[in-house]
């Protein structure tokens, strides 16, 4: 074991660490102090001071404690301070002493009060465990996802447990507690009495217990002065050590490197620090002043009034190299390098010795590894130089190891600096914690420039590195209340520019949280993706702006989202007015209304005084109505609207439709036949087909149906009925406005050539050819065509002739054509 001085504490504590609640965050985190005097005096005037220092003792925050009595303080994995009060309230502060939030450990606590509490860390996050005045345990495994669990009662427990610890086993949080000579294991459902294997039967009480960093091991300090060490499931004993001290230690913590064979525990009394291990002997350090132990993954930090030290088992590599008279390859290489520096030939001898055993790569590796365990930059340098020296004699030693170590050590030394104060060991803590987390911690400490430097130095991809730091910086920047909006927005944009992976909307969201809406809007202007701007703008109630941004984004879903929001937020009038200025949103909303809210659609048109569309709306509505009365009403509305729109045509057409409806109703009653939903044309045809000529004539006159249409209608209806007599009569009633070719054609269509022929003579000269063709009379057609001397007519006939059978005709036509062409 060895003790390394990390820092000479720069803090200036008047009363030392006495009577303080102390908590230090693992992984070289900050230290919090709360004067405990409050407990006794209880005078409102003497408010205790809560102070937060970095690991180097640099003050980070200090403020008078105004809330209730604090039982325990502890740090979360993300370096937030938890203050657990007597009444079960847990207050959370960040490391600068800013209040974050609070939660309660349950109602039961209110009466019984918290007598003791512990903060613990696991894969799930940071947890809190309390024991109440009724000696019941309650825990929350993760304070960010608060689920309180009340553990089962311990039967017969009348006094507070002498000591207890939180364990993580099989992904379950358990509590082990001691009461007299009994040990109990509490899990979610049960309370089990347990006995550690090989415990001295004389033990009548346990003074102290400690779980290891990983919860794998448990140490118990008994009233006999023994330390029992074993696995935390209490199935296996590792060793036992007699401290010969009968008084309970102030603190007991594990000091064990992962994978190391030696279980060892550090115990602290007022004036003594003792390391107990497997062997019979112990290492004793006298301590002069009040200290505090902070368990770490691979050792223990000892914080005292003036020093901050790190106690750990000497790592293998260092031991090999620095052990006196060590012949390990690393030690030899270091020696060789020393000689080389002195320009002594011994260097060669040492080297040769290593090389003969083929251990040079091993030697280099050892030196590099050892450098990682060393705290002093000087020692690191010596070891690294030695390894680099050794590397020169190797042709294919992979460089990554060495280069990586140099990079990482530089980073570690930088963060270990007094001004930063994060002492981390390389091989365990740093590796376990990862660079990402380290950068996060720097960011939490607002050490943005250093974080960025590290990102750049380690060439971390921008997205995870620099951009992330910059984003945090910007989020912090927006909270600086003293600077005006313009300055901040400008500063942020200048720094961030278009760096990949930066979301201006996130920063703006933070600004908004801080109540700086104007700044948020300014920041949003820098956001290139308009889609990202919308949700925040809505939140800030800048709905108009949100709407235009949504439209700009071209994402209709977004537009729709804003529209729905507006609809619920605004009164109808304002809502419509807003839509009116945004045609895209308006048409989207109209589409929706068409399916969902017909009446809203009407209101929309009303708002705009869009009488044309209103007219159309009523026309559409009329066709949806079942009763004639309702239809008429809708149509009348339409007429009114069309009139307002000065659309005489539509108004008239609609009036005619109303007139038609009236007629249709009358016919429907008279003839017991459906006429509704028929157009005028269809109605007339239907009447004609039924022989209701009189009624048809009425419509013809009433609606001013053009003569042509009426004639077409009449002849096709008559032909349909094969009422040839009536057809002939009709043809003679007056001069046909459509000529007589249609008569021929309609007869042919109904396979009555006889009737058709009656009309041929009436057909005009121009159409005669067609009439003959319709009858299939080619010869007559030819005659007619020749008579007209029309080339196109001749061609028409020609196209109908079949070359094989109509030889004679063909000749005739061709002859005629020639004649026509000549002229």
Q: How far is the CB of 634 from other proteins (least distance, A)?
A: 12
List strands edge to edge, sheet with 299-304: 2-8, 307-312, 299-304, 291-296
Planar angle of CA 4, 10, 11, nearest 5 degrees: 115
| Options 304, 612, 668, 752; binder of other proteins; rule CB under 8 A | 612
Residues 234 and 572: their CA atoms lie apart, in Å, by: 71
**What is the Cβ-side half-sphere exposure of residue 394, based on CA atoms within 13 angstroms?**
21
Binding mask 517-556 for other proteins (x = CB under 8 A): ------------x------------------x--xx-xxx
What number of helices (H) and strands (E) belong to the chain? 33, 28
Single out the residue of 303, 371, 309, 372 nearest to residue 334, CA to CA. 371
Does 783 help bind other proteins (rule: CB under 8 A)? no
Bridge partners for 219 per DSSP: 210, 229
Which of these ranges, 58-66, 331-339, 576-584, 787-795, lies near other proteins under the rule CB under 8 A?
A: 576-584
Hunting for tokens 């690393």 — which residue is that? Answer: 330
To the nearest whole angstrom, how small is the minimum distance from the Cβ of residue 185 to other proteins? 40
- For the bound state, the minimum distance from the C-beta of residue 708 to other proteins, rounded and expressed in Å, comes to 6
d(CA 468, CA 334) in angstroms, rounded, equals: 41
The nearest distance, CB 43 to other proteins, in angstroms, is: 55
Asked whether position 703 contacts other proteins by CB under 8 A, the answer is yes
Instruction: Rank residues 673 and 800 by Cβ distance to other proteins and give the closer one.
Output: 800
Helix spans in 156-266 (H): none
Which range, of 308-316, 458-466, 709-717, 806-814, touches other proteins by CB under 8 A?
709-717
- Grouping H, G, I as helix, E, B as strand and the rest as coil, residue 95 is coil
Sign of CA dihedral 415, 418, 422, 425: positive
CB of residue 806 to other proteins, shortest distance in Å: 19
> Which of 265, 450, 619, 696 is in the footprint of other proteins by CB under 8 A?
619
For position 564 contacting other proteins by CB under 8 A, the verdict is yes
> SS3 letters for 424-460?
CCHHHHHHHHHHHHHHHHHHHCCCHHHHHHHHHHCCC
- Rounded to an integer, what distance in angstroms lies between the CA atom of residue 312 and that of residue 1? 5
Residue whose CB is less far from other proteins, 395 or 596 = 596
DSSP sequence for 666-697: HHHHHH----TT--HHHHHHHHHHTT-HHHHH
**Binding residue (CB under 8 A) for other proteins from 404, 573, 583, 776:** 583
Say whether residue 561 binds other proteins (CB under 8 A).
yes
The whole-angstrom separation of Cα 455 and Cα 205 is 53
Residues 407, 584, 632, 820: which binds other proteins (CB under 8 A)?
Answer: 584
Q: Which residues inside 186-225 make contact with other proteins, applying CB under 8 A?
A: none
Rg (CA), the chain: 49
Positive or negative torsion for Cα 573, 574, 575, 579: positive
Nearer to other proteins, 590 or 817 (CB): 590
Q: Are 659 and 680 in contact (CB under 8 A)?
A: no
- The verdict on 708 binding other proteins (CB under 8 A) reads yes
* Count of CA atoms in the C-beta half-sphere (13 A) of 347: 14
* Gap between the Cα atoms of 18 and 15, Å rounded: 7
- The DSSP line for 274-332 is EEE-SSS-EEEEE--S-EEEEEETTEEEEEESSEEEEEEPPPHHHHHHHSTT--SHHHH
Q: Which member of 434, 587, 795, 814 binds other proteins (CB under 8 A)?
A: 587
Instruction: Quote the least distance from Cβ 583 to other proteins, whole Å.
Output: 4
Single out the residue of 653, 665, 801, 820 in contact with other proteins (rule: CB under 8 A): 653
> Is the alpha carbon torsion for 185, 186, 189, 190 positive or negative?
positive
Q: Is 689 in the site for other proteins (CB under 8 A)?
A: no
In whole angstroms, what is the distance from residue 420 CA to residue 131 CA?
A: 36
Residue placing its CB nearer to other proteins in the complex, 409 or 635: 635
Site for other proteins in 716-735 (CB under 8 A): 716
| Residue 781 binds to other proteins (criterion: CB under 8 A) | no
Q: Which is nearer to other proteins, 380 or 716 (CB)?
A: 716
- Using CB under 8 A as the binding rule, whether residue 705 contacts other proteins is answered as yes
For residues 425 and 600, which CB has a smaller minimum distance to other proteins in the complex?
600
83 is a contact residue toward other proteins (CB under 8 A): no
Contacts with other proteins: how many residues (CB under 8 A)?
A: 50
The reply on whether position 596 binds other proteins by CB under 8 A is yes
In the complex, least distance from residue 57 CB atom to other proteins, rounded to whole angstroms: 48
Which is closer to other proteins, CB of 197 or CB of 583?
A: 583
Tokens of 761: 């003579």
Select from 196-204, 224-232, 294-302, 583-591 the region that touches other proteins (CB under 8 A): 583-591
CB of 681 to other proteins, least distance (A): 4
Please report whether residue 429 would count as binding other proteins according to CB under 8 A: no
**Interface region with other proteins, contact rule CB under 8 A, candidates 74-82, 147-155, 164-172, 701-709:** 701-709
Cβ nearer to other proteins, comparing 168 with 563: 563
Q: Binding pattern to other proteins, positions 665-684, x when CB under 8 A?
A: ------------xxxxxx--
Q: Which residues here bind other proteins, judged by CB under 8 A? A: 529, 548, 551-552, 554-558, 560-561, 564, 582-584, 587-588, 590-592, 595-596, 612, 616, 619-620, 623-624, 649-650, 653-654, 656-657, 660, 677-682, 703, 705-706, 708-709, 712, 716, 738, 770
């Amino acid at each position: 074991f060895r003790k390394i001085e990390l820092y000479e504490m720069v803090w200036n504590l008047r009363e030392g660490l006495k009577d303080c609640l102390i908590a230090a965050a693992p992984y070289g985190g900050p230290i919090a102090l709360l004067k405990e005097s409050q407990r006794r005096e209880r005078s409102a005037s003497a408010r205790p001071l809560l102070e937060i220092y970095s690991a180097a003792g640099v003050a980070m925050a200090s403020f008078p404690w105004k809330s209730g009595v604090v039982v325990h303080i502890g740090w979360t994995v993300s370096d937030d301070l938890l203050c657990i009060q007597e009444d079960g309230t847990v207050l959370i502060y960040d490391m600068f002493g800013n209040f974050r939030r609070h939660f309660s450990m349950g109602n039961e606590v209110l009466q019984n009060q918290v007598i003791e509490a512990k903060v613990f860390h696991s894969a799930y996050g940071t947890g809190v465990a309390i024991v109440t005045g009724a000696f019941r345990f309650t825990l929350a495994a993760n304070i960010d996802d608060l689920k309180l669990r009340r553990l089962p009662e311990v039967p017969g427990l009348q006094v507070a447990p002498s000591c207890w610890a939180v364990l993580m086993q099989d992904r379950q949080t358990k509590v082990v507690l001691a009461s007299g000579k009994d040990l109990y294991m509490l899990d979610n459902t049960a309370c089990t009495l347990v006995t550690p294997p090989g415990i001295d039967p004389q033990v009548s009480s346990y003074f102290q217990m400690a779980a290891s960093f990983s919860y794998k091991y448990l140490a118990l300090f008994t009233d006999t002065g023994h330390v029992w060490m074993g696995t935390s499931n209490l199935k296996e004993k590792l060793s036992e050590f007699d401290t010969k001290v009968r008084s309970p230690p102030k603190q007991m913590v594990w000091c064990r490197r992962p994978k190391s064979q030696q279980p060892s525990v550090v115990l602290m009394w007022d004036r003594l620090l003792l390391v107990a291990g497997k062997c019979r002997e112990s290492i004793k350090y006298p301590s002069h002043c009040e200290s505090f132990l902070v368990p770490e993954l691979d050792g223990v930090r000892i914080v005292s009034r003036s020093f901050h030290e790190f106690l750990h088992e000497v790592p293998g590599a260092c031991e090999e190299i620095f052990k006196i008279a060590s012949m390990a390859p690393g030690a030899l290489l270091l020696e060789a390098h020393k000689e080389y520096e002195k320009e002594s030939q011994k260097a060669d001898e040492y080297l040769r010795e290593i090389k003969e055993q083929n251990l040079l790569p091993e030697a280099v590796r050892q030196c590099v590894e050892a450098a990682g365990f060393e705290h002093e930059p000087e020692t690191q340098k010596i070891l690294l130089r030695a390894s680099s020296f050794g590397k020169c004699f190797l042709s294919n030693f992979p460089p990554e190891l060495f280069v990586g170590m140099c990079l990482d050590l530089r980073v570690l030394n930088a963060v270990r600096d007094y001004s930063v104060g994060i002492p981390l060991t390389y091989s365990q803590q740093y590796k376990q914690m990862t660079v990402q987390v380290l950068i996060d911690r720097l960011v939490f400490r607002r050490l943005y420039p250093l974080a960025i430097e590290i990102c750049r130095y380690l060439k971390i991809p921008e997205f995870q590195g620099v951009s992330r730091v910059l984003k945090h910086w910007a989020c912090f920047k927006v909270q600086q209340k003293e600077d005006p909006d313009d300055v901040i927005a400008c500063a942020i944009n200048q720094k961030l520019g278009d760096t990949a992976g930066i979301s201006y909307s996130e920063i703006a969201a933070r600004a908004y949280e801080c109540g700086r809406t104007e700044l948020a809007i300014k920041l949003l202007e820098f956001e290139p993706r308009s889609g990202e701007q919308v949700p925040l703008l809505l939140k800030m109630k800048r709905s108009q702006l949100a709407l235009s941004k949504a439209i700009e984004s071209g994402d209709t879903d977004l537009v729709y989202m804003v529209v729905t929001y507006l609809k619920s937020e605004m009164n109808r009038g304002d809502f419509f007015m807003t839509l009116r200025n945004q045609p895209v949103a308006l048409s989207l909303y109209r589409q929706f209304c068409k399916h969902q809210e017909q009446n809203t659609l009407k209101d929309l048109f009303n708002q705009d005084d869009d009488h044309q569309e209103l007219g159309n709306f009523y026309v559409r509505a009329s066709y949806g109505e079942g009763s004639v009365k309702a239809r008429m009403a809708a149509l009348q509305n339409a007429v009114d609207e069309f009139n307002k729109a000065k659309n005489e045509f539509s108004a008239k057409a609609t009036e005619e439709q109303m007139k038609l409806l009236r007629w249709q109703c009358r016919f429907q009653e008279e003839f017991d036949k459906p006429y509704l939903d028929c157009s005028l044309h269809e109605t007339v045809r239907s009447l004609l087909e039924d022989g209701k000529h009189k009624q048809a004539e009425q419509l013809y006159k009433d609606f001013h149906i053009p003569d042509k249409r009426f004639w077409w209608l009449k002849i096709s209806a008559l032909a349909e009925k094969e009422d040839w007599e009536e057809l002939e009569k009709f043809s003679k009633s007056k001069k046909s406005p459509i000529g007589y070719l249609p008569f021929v054609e309609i007869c042919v269509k109904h396979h009555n050539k006889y009737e058709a022929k009656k009309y041929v003579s009436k057909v005009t000269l121009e159409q005669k050819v067609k009439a003959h063709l319709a009858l299939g009379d080619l010869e007559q057609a030819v005659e007619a065509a020749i008579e007209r001397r029309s080339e196109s007519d001749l061609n028409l006939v020609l196209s109908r002739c079949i070359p094989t059978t109509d030889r004679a005709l063909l000749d005739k036509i061709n002859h005629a054509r020639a004649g026509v062409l000549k002229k």
